Structure 1
Amino acid sequence: MKIILTKDYDELSRTAFKEFDKIVKSEEKPRVGFATGSSPLGLYKEIVNNYSTNKGSYENVDVFNLDEYIGLPENDKNKYSAFLKNNIFNKADFSEENIDLILHNNENIEQECKRYHDILINNPLNLQILGLGANCHIGFNEPGTSFDSVTHIVDLKEETRQSNARFFDSIEEVPTQAITVGIREIMSAENIILVASGQDKADAVHKMLNDEINNTCPASILRVHKSVTVILDEAAASLL
């Protein structure tokens, strides 16, 4: 595991882009899993900037995402697919035919779990981008999730719903379930970049890097992966 400490969120985002760019350029047709949330947003802005300013191209990137809420209308602005489209995919030259976002609709969810699992296990990603939940979750793999889990339906912890409530008009609107890529599939990726920013992630970062590897902190399993880069700003690293 490589750990990179940065001064602030802007430096974190630039550093994450350099790592991302190196991996993507090493593959003829890279397969990348994208996370949502505020942590990787700066990285995505750097990718868009590279496209618009430096003519960087992403038309050959096969795109997958990490998780999605269950129960939101197809056109809801809070869907993770909408987040990714609005913040990165529609702002660069990602090809629509190469974008396969989990849970295109809210039907046949069990079948969708199997479909995504088959894709990710049979053709592992070259890169999985991750954020880190304040309770140490990765994707929506909450504390207690088996390290052998595959794409599945998850009941969201109340603390996760509370953390995400800022994006909704009220806590009542935050879904209680989601579909998430499992820990086994995350670990099958050839490379992983995890970004964590802010004081509210400091405790999770400390547990991820220092506590016993245990599913009470799902992210701790990343310590045994062959190629993980963890990028932190000063606040997130403050308890190390």
Structure 2
Amino acid sequence: MKLVIVKDYNELGKITGDFILEKVKQNPNVILGLATGSSPITTYEYIIEKTKENNIDWSGVKTFNLDEYVGLTPDHEQSYRYFMEKQLFEHINIKKENTHVPNGLWKTNEEAAQYDEEIKKAGGIDLQLLGIGQNGHIGFNEPGASFDSITSIVDLTKTTIEANSRFFEKVSDVPTKAVSMGLKSIMNSKEIILIASGANKTEAIKHLIKGEIGTEWPCTVLQNHPNVTVIVDQEAAKEAISAANK
């Protein structure tokens, strides 16, 4: 696992954006796994800016997003499909049919599991972008999630619901379930880049980098992956640096 510490959230976006853009330039048909939430916003803004400046072609790129809230339609303003359209897809020349987001209206795990089959048919994810929750979740794989899990319908913890309530008018509006790639789905990616910003992520990053591998902190599964880059700002890295120096 490679750890990269940057100055702040804006620099995080530039470094991560360049990392992803380089993959697109190297392979015009690259398959990317994408994330939502606040962590990747500066990354997507930078990608849009550089794509326009340098006429980078996204027409052959395929994307698969990590997760979606259960019960939200694609046009709902808090759905992750809507987020991706507004934050990235509408601003680059990617083909709509090449962008995949789990369906929040799926009712069964059998339906959800077909997402893994779609990824497999496409050739597998070349680079997966991840954020991380305060409790160490990646995707919406909450503490206790099996390391063998594939895409399924999952319950969100109170901590995650409260953290995500900043995007909604009130806590009671936040969905309590999501469709999420499983930990096994994520680990099948050829390469992974995880980003984090802010002091509220310090504990999770410490466990990710130095913690004992176990389901209590789902992010620790990434220690078993051969090709992971962690990019964090100085605030998010504090606990990890402290642990490394002990």
Please state which band the TM-score falls in when normalised by the shorter chain: over 0.9
CA contact (8 A) 2:28 2:58 kept: no
After superposition, residues 31-110 of structure 1 pair within 5 angstroms as 31-103=31-103, 106-110=105-109
Alignment-derived partner of residue 8 in structure 2: 8
Runs of 4+ aligned structure 1 residues displaced above 6 Å come to: none
Tell me, yes or no, if the aligned pair for 2:75 and 2:81 is still in contact at 8 Å.
no
How far apart are residue 239 of structure 1 and its match?
Answer: 1.1
- Provide the C-alpha distance between the structure 2 equivalents of 1:109 and 1:43, rounded to a whole number of angstroms: 33
Q: Please identify, of 137-146 and 65-74, the stretch whose mean Cα deviation from structure 2 is larger.
A: 65-74
CA drift at 1:121: 4.0
Whether the 8 Å CA contact 2:18–2:47 is kept in 1: the answer is: no
Say if 2:195 and 2:231, in contact at 8 Å, map to a contact too: yes
Is 1:112 matched with 2:111?
A: yes
What does the per-residue CA deviation read over 1:61-117, in whole Å, with 9 as the maximum and x for residues that have no partner? Answer: 1011100000124421000110011000011111112112211x5144434312102
What do residues 6-51 of structure 1 show as CA deviations (whole Å, max 9, x unaligned)? 0111111111112112222232411111100111111111111112
Say if 2:7 and 2:233, in contact at 8 Å, map to a contact too: yes
Name the stretch that deviates more: 113-122 or 9-18: 113-122
Give the number of aligned pairs.
239
Match of 1:230 in 2: 230
Match in the other structure for 1:27: 27
Distance 1:220 1:70 in 2: 26
C-alpha RMSD of the superposition: 1.3
What are the Cα deviations for residues 165-224 of structure 1, in whole angstroms up to 9, with x where unaligned? 011111111001000001101011111110000000011100111110111111111112
Rounded to whole Å, the distance in 2 between the matches of 1:48 and 1:80 is 18
Question: In 2, Cα distance between the equivalents of 1:206 and 1:69?
Answer: 28
Change (3 A) 1:14 1:4: same
**Counterpart secondary structure, 2:232:** strand
C-alpha change, 1:106 and 1:22, in structure 2 (3 Å) is same
- Gaps (5+ residues) in structure 1? none
TM-score by length of 2: 0.93
> Contact between 1:121 and 1:188, CA under 8 Å: does it hold in 2?
no
Letter in 2 for 1:149: S
Residues 31 and 61, structure 2, Cα contact 8 Å, conserved in 1: yes
Q: Percent identity?
A: 38
Partner of 2:134: 134
Distance in 2, matches of 1:143 and 1:17, equals 29
Matched with 1:151 is: 151
Distance 2:115 2:2 in 1: 28
Partner SS state of residue 141, structure 1? coil
Corresponding residue of 2:243:
none
